[in-house]
Amino acid sequence: MSIAEINGARINYELSGDEDSPLIVFSNSLGTNLNVWDGQVAALGGFRVLRYDTRGHGQSAVTAGDYTIEMLGRDVLALLDFLDIDRAAFCGLSLGGFIGQWLGAHAPQRFSKLVLANTAAKLGTAQSWNQRIEEVKSGGTAAIADGVLSRWFTEPFRKTHPDRVAWIKEMLLSTPADGYASSCAAVRDMDLRADAERITVPTLIIAGSADPVACVADAEFLREHIDGALMTLLPAAHLSSVEARDAFNQTLLAFLS
């Protein structure tokens, strides 16, 4: 475990690979941690990989108060500065994709390419996020786990890959309730629709054909509003990097190359 003291928080990160290789940053989804990218790291032997636990997740600090997408984006920039990294590719899933949109709009000079997976410019309503926050504050992430997993994976995948589903469920259950709730507030208050047209970094959007969270229409909005963006549709629900791992990796490698 490596720790960076940045922006008033302890951020846990892992940096691996040859320092002369091209670098990619991975940003996890809401309720997971840096290990959600295990299946990608194994496939990216020719890359240097930086992955980290988003504030409030994994081994990173749970700081008080509601988070914002800007705060989480500035954590990424501060981590790059801490490690003396000038420029990198970026791949974010769900919450990580929200962060990626903010970075692409506000710090394009720091990123060579963006991969925005299973994400949206605006997601849900204030009422739905406030309800989620109250459920988690009352009963922890265990109170929402089964419902969340039913949206993260298709039913056939849950039946045929119970080990992978259990692995992800353990990440969700181990996510601190306060960190999860504070991150939900960031998504609740997020509206990146105007930012999409500001993104000039070469961008790939990955969507899940059966994603009920960030649906295909959300991905199409990003494709239409980010100049030159490419889009790939994978046979998966919300965690396409896990459910459609091989196809996700092939798509990612083709874009990065």
**pLDDT at position 161 over 90:** yes
> What are 200-219's pLDDT values in tens digits?
999 999 999 999 999 999 99
Quick one: pLDDT at residue 1? Answer: 79
Strands (E) across the chain are located at: 2-6, 9-16, 23-27, 48-52, 88-93, 111-117, 203-208, 230-234
Full-model pTM: 0.97
> Residue 46 — φ and ψ, nearest 5°?
-90, 10
**pLDDT at position 45 over 90:** no
Residue ranges of the domains in the chain? 2-256
Quick one: pLDDT at residue 133? Answer: 98
Single-letter amino acid code for the residue at 188: R
Q: What is the CATH number of domain 2-256?
A: 3.40.50.1820
CA–CA distance, 86 with 204 (Å, rounded to integer): 21
* Summary count for the chain: helices (H), strands (E): 11, 8
